[in-house]
Amino acid sequence: EREESTRAPCLSLGLVLVTASALLFGIVAAFIKAIDVPTLVLQLVRSLIEWLLGIIAALVYRKKQQPTSNLVLLLFGPAELRGWLVLRAFLYWVFIAGWWFALASMPMGDATTIVYVGPVFTATFAFLFLGETVDWSFYPIVALDAVGLLLITQPSFAFGGPANDESYFLGALSALVSAVVAGLLPVCVRKSRMCLWTAVNHCSSALSALVFSPAAILAWLWYKPAAWAEASAGLGELLLFRNCALLVGATLVGFLGLSFQTRGYQLEQAARASVMTVLEIPFAYVLQYALFHEELSLLGLLGVVVVCSATVLNLVRRQQLNDAAAS
């Protein structure tokens, strides 16, 4: 009884932190969509800022909480967990790249809804790698998500009429890739749950700034020589006060959201915590309409309802299974 009474507040805190991170990421998405700069350039600059924040956060944590702690552990984690930290950093980089490209290519609400079918993939990977159970409810949830995505994207082969432009479907594909990767992220965090959040965040931003983003930009420049002009123009745009303020704001809010998400997943089961992010879907459409004046079709609205219903069903069923296991 004592163990359950001490564990319940941690579970509740985990859900609150993951939910708060989802709403913060919605605000970040609005900031990023408002900046007309190539995605890889944005990622590089944002990673450099977040890397600096990560070092400051580790130093402050050491001073306030553990003055005698090893700074290397606060920044890079235990040696036996660094492989998981590198994998998690790469997956997070891929997630952000696909997510931000989708935001630039399609309406914000559509991109958000596609990304947040991620709990289906989280449940799959949690079953494969963490041994968490997947019961009968998983299959209707997958079916509902598939129907919802069709209603949102409305491909011409299924609905007839003119096809959406190529940019929209490239964005939709990028969002779907991000959803798959997002399904793996909680698994990596759970595998490295003994590692302090300062090391998780620092490793993600440092590897993004020093390895992943530069490598991706070099590949982009090699594949498309004209990208030199796009990258240069993008850096010039970032020097404007409006874009600079938006990027700094996105980085600060995103850093806070990532910290909340990391700690939340460490306190809660991966599949259960991830479904709380459904709150970002209606929030994204509110921002889409209020800030970017992009309306939602009736079929698209029906698709949003279907995806949200699937996510809520997932949450309810997971709670039932947890209650049955506890009893």
Report angle CA 261, 122, 252 to the nearest 5 degrees.
Answer: 25
DSSP letter, residue 163 = P
pTM of the model: 0.77
C-alpha–C-alpha distance, residues 77 and 69, integer Å: 12
pLDDT at 156: 62
Tokens representing 44 are 């590089």
Would you say how long the chain is, in residues? Answer: 327
For 273, phi then psi, to 5°, come to -65, -40
Q: Output DSSP code: residue 192.
A: T
- Which positions of the chain have pLDDT values less than 50? 1-11
Q: What is the pLDDT, as a whole number, of residue 4?
A: 40
- pLDDT value of position 2: 36
Cα 22–chain centre separation: 8
Q: What whole-number distance in Å separates Cα of residue 258 and Cα of residue 2?
A: 31
